[in-house]
């Protein structure tokens, strides 16, 4: 049984942690566009060179670049048991592109899981993550930008997916295990 799911939520919501576990448990591919962009930037590919300045500022990389990257990714062989999209879509245009792409592939989304975390908690987590991860976009200014960008460009996707009857909200606070349990329940697993 395949699993096709989007993890939606602000930076610091814990989507990556949950996506890794769920991918491991189900065989679905963990598709994290942020990780893919970091790899492209590190390898200085054409895509990475175009994405770097946006990434470093905590801004969104242009839709056509990210959408093209995702189109290729979803056609790789490790997605036969499905995929967990972590960090995509982030704009309405990306959500619409995803809908077209899945239509082309003859696939449907099962669910969109929203990780609900209060802003004060996000700030605390992002500051803590900075001690361990050292990402180029973990400066104070870039963190503020990422939260602003989320509120302006990504939060509207909640209504979009609510209207498509795909959205399920999960409290993104508590232990990693308890959140994972809530996610599995939301997915009916």
Which residues of this protein are in contact with ligand AMP, per CB under 6 A?
11, 33-34, 37, 54-55, 58-61, 66, 87-88, 90, 94, 137, 146
Provide, rounded to whole angstroms, the least separation between the CB of residue 146 and ligand AMP. 5
- CB nearer ligand AMP, residue 81 or residue 129: 129
3-state secondary structure of 4: strand
Q: Catalytic pick from 4, 15, 73, 111?
A: 15
Which residue's Cβ has the minimum distance to ligand AMP?
34
Q: Catalytic pick from 129, 130, 162, 184?
A: 129
| Two tokens, residue 120 | 């004060």
C-alpha dihedral (154, 98, 4, 77), degrees to nearest 10? -130
E strands of 39-171, at which residues? Answer: 82-86, 111-116, 167-171
Rounded to 5 degrees, what are φ and ψ at 156? -60, -15
* CB 66 within 8 Å of CB 80: no
- CB nearer ligand AMP, residue 151 or residue 189: 151
- CB nearer ligand AMP, residue 26 or residue 137: 137
Query: What positions carry a catalytic annotation?
Result: 15, 90, 129, 135, 146
């Amino acid at each position: 049984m395949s699993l096709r799911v989007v993890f939606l939520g602000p930076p610091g919501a814990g989507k990556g942690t949950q996506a890794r576990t769920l991918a491991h448990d189900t065989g679905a591919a963990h598709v994290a566009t942020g990780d893919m962009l970091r790899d492209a930037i590190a390898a200085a590919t054409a895509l990475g060179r175009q994405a770097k300045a946006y990434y470093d500022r905590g801004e969104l990389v242009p839709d056509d670049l990210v959408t093209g990257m995702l189109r290729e990714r979803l056609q790789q062989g490790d997605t036969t048991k499905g995929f967990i999209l972590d960090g995509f879509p982030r704009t309405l245009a990306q959500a619409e592109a995803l809908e077209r792409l899945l239509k082309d592939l003859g696939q449907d989304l099962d669910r969109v899981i929203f990780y609900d975390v209060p802003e004060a908690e996000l700030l605390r987590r992002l500051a803590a993550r900075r001690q361990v991860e050292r990402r180029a976009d973990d400066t104070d200014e870039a963190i503020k930008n990422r939260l602003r960008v989320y509120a302006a460009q990504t939060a509207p996707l909640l209504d979009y997916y609510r209207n498509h009857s795909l959205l399920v909200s999960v409290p993104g606070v508590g232990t990693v295990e308890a959140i994972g349990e809530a996610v599995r329940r939301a997915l009916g697993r």
